[in-house]
Amino acid sequence: MAKATPTAASIALAEAAANVPLDPRTNGWVPADPRVMPRMGETVMVMAQPDTLLRNNETGGYIAAGTPTPQTVTVTLLRRLQDGDLVLLAPAAG
């Protein structure tokens, strides 16, 4: 399987999000480097963009916008990351 590469739009979104002060609701999570894509089956933290309503395929509910949510990496999740609907999160340094 070919490794997914981020689009210019997803890189721009991640760079813009990286310049935003840490929101207390994110509990120490910050946007991850947009050039790093997670591996299939791995559990990662993601956050939906404020203007999106995305179905959580694992629970059947919805991914709350602006709230870090654990997800297992699937093809759908990778597509949502590339489309910019979801932001991959990493633990905040420090």
DSSP, residue by residue, 25-55: GGTTEEEPPTT--PPTT-EEEEEE-TT--EE
**Count of domains forming the chain:** 1
pTM of the model: 0.68
Q: Decide if 61 is inside a domain.
A: yes
Q: Give the integer Cα–Cα distance in Å for 78 and 71.
A: 11
In this predicted structure, the answer to whether residue 94 has a pLDDT above a threshold of 70 is: no
Q: Decide if 3 is inside a domain.
A: no
Q: Decide if 36 is inside a domain.
A: yes
Q: Decide if 15 is inside a domain.
A: yes
Q: Decide if 27 is inside a domain.
A: yes
> By CB neighbour count within 10 A (0-12 exposed, 13-18 middle, 19+ buried), where does 82 fall?
middle
Question: Lowest mean pLDDT: which of 1-5, 12-16, 31-35, 69-73?
Answer: 1-5
Average pLDDT on 69-78 reads 91
Q: Give the integer Cα–Cα distance in Å for 74 and 61.
A: 17
80-90 confidence digits (pLDDT tens): 998 888 999 98
Range of the domain at 14: 8-91
